[in-house]
Chain A
Amino acid sequence: MDLLLEETVPGGGHASLIVKRGQSLRVTDLRGGANVSVLMFNATEKSERLNLPDTLKCQHTAKLTAGHCLYSDMGRVLAAIVADTCGWHDSIGGVSNADEVHERYGVGRYQERRNAFYRNGADNLLVEMGKWGLGIQDLLMTLNLFSRVDVTDAGALDFVADNSKAGDYVDLYAPMNTLVVLTAIQHPLDPNPEYAPKPVKLELSRAEPGVAEICRTACEENVRGFINTDRFFL
């Protein structure tokens, strides 16, 4: 792996970067129990956005793990999950806003807590998206890395504790220039009564296109998704 950049995002922090076509972003849960809420955009045409419903229905899955692709609304692959030691990333829970965080954890202002103040996923993503000219209309369904929510036969949602352990990582290979916006923040259904978001490490590297074969060939749908993606670069 040809490492280009390494950075630690503290719990509660937010970041964004362009993962260029042919690069891979590894996100590592440093302590276990992390959650990373993620949105993605085509870096050169940001009206093209991560579309979780399209992603889920074309791969007949609600969870996301190695072999799955993350699709835009334009039928292209923004990222391919080429490695995953965790096994389950959540598409259902989304991100809390300020009211929900207040309801869950109480008051945690900057005035008293300085940079340990209670942040929320919605505002963290909006701030980071605002830097790229994106707004609240672009805050679509988010992916929650390292989290698992089970659905019972009756439809009840159960947050699964300890889904991710220290050192678990997920590799996101970009077959197009993908703007990744993320925040390391607690999952909205995490029952922990304490505000305690966990840090994660980001590693950007050059990758061989061959690493994405397990995703491209996972199903006929993904073969076509990669054709659509390659056509964007003709």
Chain B
Amino acid sequence: MTTTLTVSDKRPEHAVFRETLAAGEPWLHELKAGQTLRILDLQGNQAVDTLFYSLADPRERFDPQRTLRRQKSLYLTTGTVLYSNLGNPLLTIVADTCGRHDTLGGACAQESNTVRYALEKRYMHSCRDNYLRACAHDGRLSKQDIGANINFFMNVPVTSEGGLTFEDGISAPGKYVELRAEMDVIVLISNCPQLNNPCNAYNPTPAELLIWN
């Protein structure tokens, strides 16, 4: 695998917003066109499950299949344009020190946990519970709007035989990805609480979120 990693020259002390998001918490925030969001993996191999919507019309949302086929590549990294379901650029990845971010694995849910792990795992906390909670309080989004998300810092390669593998993460403490908003957007994050998956060493950890004008 060849991946070009790109560092950012943005300085945290110049950020207009800076917050640490604990594991298992949702985050819903607006990002104005031209602003840049950094998502920072503080302790390594954390999955930050993320969705994007147009602020003007939240029915317009991140479209993973269009994003992949437009760039003819499965993996997201610097230069990737995240397209909407209407074909418009939502955001562009402008820096990436990790090099792998997953678009096929989706977000964990109580229901998918029962299938993947065991029926009695139903009552464990999950990303889709976080999404629904944030959407319910915000009022602009609902279950209908929850499509397939990006798992920042997750490494989920596809094999030549069409297999999907959940590889050991290639992220590490301090790795980050930066996205510049191409339109006003709503960012919806669940900092994944999954305790059943070895890809985060069964240890969900905090992420840091920074915004620059």
Contact = CB atoms under 8 A, between A and B. Distances in A.
A73 B109 contact: yes
B68 interface: yes
Interface string A3-29: 000000000000000000000000000
Contact of B104 (A56, A140, A142, A221): A56
A119 to B, nearest CB: 16
B206 interface: no
Contacts of B75: 155
Contacts, number: 142
B158 interface: yes
Given A53-B148, A157-B72, A58 B86 contact: no
Contacts of B149: 53
B164 A75 contact: no
Contacts of B106: 51-54, 56-57
A115 B34 CA distance: 44
B133 interface: no
Nearest to A71: B115
Interface in A153-169: 153-157
A192 interface: no
Contact of A93 (B69, B128, B156, B166): B69
A99 B102 CA distance: 27
Question: What is the size category of the interface that chain A forms with chain B?
Answer: 35 or more
Interface string A105-143: 000000000000000000000000000000111111110
A57 B151 CA distance: 13
B35 interface: no
Contacts of A73: 109, 111-112, 128, 146
Given A63-B162, A73-B109, A189-B72, 15 more contacts: A53-B104, A53-B149, A57-B164, A61-B164, A73-B128, A73-B146, A75-B110, A76-B111, A93-B65, A151-B160, A153-B157, A155-B1, A156-B73, A156-B74, A224-B119
